[in-house]
Amino acid sequence: MRNILFVASEGVPFIKTGGLADVVGSLPKELDKEYYDVRVILPRYSCMKQEMKDRMEYLTNFYMDYNWESRYVGLFRAVVDGITYYFIDNEHYFTNGSVYTDDPLWEIERYGYFSKAALSALPVLNFRPDLIHCHDWQTGLVPVYLKERFQDNPFFQGIKTVMTIHNLRFQGKWSIEQVESITGLSPYFFTPDKLEYKKDADLLKGGLVYADAITTVSPTYAEEIKTEYYGEGLEGLMQARSGDLRGIINGIDYDTFNPETDDKIPAPYSARTFRVEKSKNKTALQQELGLEVNEKAMMIGIVSRLTDQKGFDLIACVMDELCQDAVQLVVLGTGTDQYENMFRHFAWKYPGKVSANIYYSDPLSHKIYAASDAFLMPSQFEPCGLSQLMSLRYGTLPIVRETGGLKDTVEPYNEYEKTGTGFSFSNYNAHEMLATVRYAEKIFYDRKREWNKMVDRAMAADFSWHHSAEKYQEMYDWLIG
């Protein structure tokens, strides 16, 4: 039996702000329980739902030195779906109205504390992992602390670490002087070959230097981050560690996202029945959102954070042109004011064609995946992307830019070979995107049989967690030996 510990800043079902939480919640359940005892350690945030806090039992507490003080570390435990979750409790660090704050130095202090506390808790919990799987910059100090102050303790010797990059843009950077003082790490660690990045301390870089292996969330993104355009300043390190770097595509929960059993959509359907049943979801959503009710109109869905990274500057550039076409556009999400207001404006200008839902709603997202014919995702970069996997599952054909996980998961339509599960364009260019949308419109309206065969292929694609789990297991076995 191999012991694996996941350390992360969020995880379903306890707390979620993004795709990281889905990975931390789903992957442990899919790993083979005969061979792996997988446990998860998370912060115990005050903003967690009360029903989730009620499932936790208090275990014990201890004190550790951190930032020149003796700090309380409370330990809680909960078991959900056969997985043991531990929680680090400290009111000073985890009593916020939300998971993350806008203060970078405070974030570094909080997650430095969490990283050290997670390691310090292991002997107290009497759980010795063979491997610690760290996620994103918030846990970047785990491999560093493990090499720095825990190696003298026989309990910690030989523990391997994996660092998974979910998004390289976020690295946890601040001045060396303050980070050195807060974390208690010696000056030895703050050099350009370790944590230093352009005279700042960089927590993610520290994790990437000291981890035994590095993964990211798609094979294409693993290649992209070795280049200057995508490397966010760490491309040299990624090239140097390319032998230890692999890309493993995320999965989605095929029980949660299943059009046949989804109780959030008005008309469930399967790959066998979508030709008759799927459009009922479209007309129901048109009625609900005040769009023109027409089951034959092509509906394009967008469920996203409304930010530059997601390609909304491209959409802004051609939105008026797009609204001249025979399409309806349904948008769900929040983000920068510029894009929120743009969609509100076009919903006002084209009331029967554009619906702007500037908030987030899980039930509405399911309705959009089920009701739409196509799903637009023109990201500037996309480490993995989950929305295109959900839309494939619902037979809603993705229109994507060929980057990161989008390139790995959406096969572009080839009208000559009769292959493909969606549409894609390669250059980050608004009119190239518009041409691809219009090509999709043409197939939808003029070659309906071809479109439906593409939906068949999309719904047959398998991006469940099962495949990803096998690849992670291979890596764990390779590392642990």
pLDDT digits (tens, 9 = 90+) for 152-194: 999 999 999 999 999 999 999 999 999 999 999 999 999 999 9
Residues near 306 by beta carbon (within 8 Å), at least 6 away in sequence: 312, 331, 333, 334, 335, 336, 339, 340, 343, 358
**Are 245 and 313 in the same domain?**
no
Q: 258 lies in a domain?
A: no
Note whether 374 and 397 are within 8 A (CB). yes
Q: 146 lies in a domain?
A: yes
Number of neighbouring beta carbons within 10 Å of residue 452: 14
The type of residue at 87 is F
Distance between CA 296 and CA 373 in Å, rounded?
10
Q: 260 lies in a domain?
A: no
> What tens digit of pLDDT does each residue of 328-350 get?
999 999 999 999 999 999 999 99
In this prediction, residues 39-51 reach a mean pLDDT of 96
> What tens digit of pLDDT does each residue of 88-118 get?
999 999 998 889 999 999 999 999 999 999 9
C-alpha pair distances (Å), 353 with each of 12, 274, 297, 323 = 35, 23, 10, 7
Distance between CA 271 and CA 258 in Å, rounded?
11
Note if the pTM is more than 0.85: yes
Distance between CA 253 and CA 354 in Å, rounded?
30
Number of neighbouring beta carbons within 10 Å of residue 199: 9
Sign of CA dihedral 162, 165, 170, 173: positive
Q: Determine the structural domain holding residue 402 and report its residue range.
A: 274-462
In this prediction, residues 308-330 reach a mean pLDDT of 97
CATH label of the domain that carries residue 414: 3.40.50.2000
- List the structure tokens of 236: 């040299």
**Are 65 and 205 in the same domain?**
yes
Range list of H helices, 129-234: 141-148, 176-183, 203-210, 219-224
In this prediction, residues 59-69 reach a mean pLDDT of 97
Distance between CA 459 and CA 447 in Å, rounded?
19
Q: Tell me what pLDDT residue 67 has.
A: 96
Q: Tell me what pLDDT residue 161 has.
A: 98
Indicate whether 18 pLDDT > 90.
Answer: no
**Helix, strand or coil for residue 295?**
coil
Note whether 95 and 6 are within 8 A (CB). no
Distance between CA 21 and CA 171 in Å, rounded?
18
With cut-offs at 50, 70 and 90, classify the pLDDT of residue 21: very high
With cut-offs at 50, 70 and 90, classify the pLDDT of residue 149: confident
Total domains, the chain: 2
Q: 362-365 long-range CB contacts below 8 Å, 24 or more apart? A: 362/264, 363/264, 364/332, 365/303, 365/332
Q: 80 lies in a domain?
A: yes
**Are 332 and 451 in the same domain?**
yes
Distance between CA 305 and CA 449 in Å, rounded?
33
> What tens digit of pLDDT does each residue of 209-263 get?
999 999 999 999 999 999 999 999 999 999 999 999 999 999 998 988 999 999 9
**Are 452 and 471 in the same domain?**
no
Q: Tell me what pLDDT residue 45 has.
A: 97
**Are 212 and 285 in the same domain?**
no
Q: Tell me what pLDDT residue 253 has.
A: 87
Number of neighbouring beta carbons within 10 Å of residue 328: 26
**Are 299 and 220 in the same domain?**
no
Q: Tell me what pLDDT residue 123 has.
A: 97
Q: 226 lies in a domain?
A: yes
Note whether 235 and 368 are within 8 A (CB). no
Q: Tell me what pLDDT residue 97 has.
A: 83
**Are 149 and 183 in the same domain?**
yes
Q: 24-30 long-range CB contacts below 8 Å, 24 or more apart? A: 24/135, 26/251, 26/252, 26/253, 26/465, 27/251, 27/465, 27/468, 27/469, 27/472, 28/4, 28/83, 29/81, 29/82, 29/83, 29/465, 30/251, 30/465, 30/466, 30/468, 30/469
Note whether 218 and 404 are within 8 A (CB). yes
Q: Tell me what pLDDT residue 19 has.
A: 83
Percentage of the chain modeled with pLDDT above 70: 100
Distance between CA 459 and CA 444 in Å, rounded?
17
Q: Tell me what pLDDT residue 481 has.
A: 84
In this prediction, residues 130-159 reach a mean pLDDT of 96
**Are 404 and 441 in the same domain?**
yes
Q: How many CA atoms lie within 13 A of 472 on its CB side?
A: 33
Distance between CA 83 and CA 65 in Å, rounded?
30
**Are 72 and 188 in the same domain?**
yes
Distance between CA 202 and CA 172 in Å, rounded?
6
Give per-residue burial for 358-370: e unless 16+ CB within 10 Å, then b: beeeeebbbbbbb
Q: 264 lies in a domain?
A: no
Q: For 179, list phi and psi in degrees, rounded to 5.
A: -70, -40
Q: 263 lies in a domain?
A: no
Range list of H helices, 184-273: 203-210, 219-224, 235-240
User: What is the strand order of the sheet 327-332 is part of?
Assistant: 354-357, 327-332, 298-303, 374-377, 397-401, 423-425
* DSSP H or E stretch at residue 320: helix 312-322
DSSP at 419: B
- List the structure tokens of 34: 């005969």
* DSSP H or E stretch at residue 298: strand 298-303
Indicate whether 17 pLDDT > 90.
Answer: no
Judging by DSSP bridges, how do beta strands 200-202 and 173-175 pair with one another? antiparallel
In this prediction, residues 276-296 reach a mean pLDDT of 97
**Are 242 and 308 in the same domain?**
no
**Are 148 and 285 in the same domain?**
no
**Are 119 and 41 in the same domain?**
yes
Q: 262 lies in a domain?
A: no
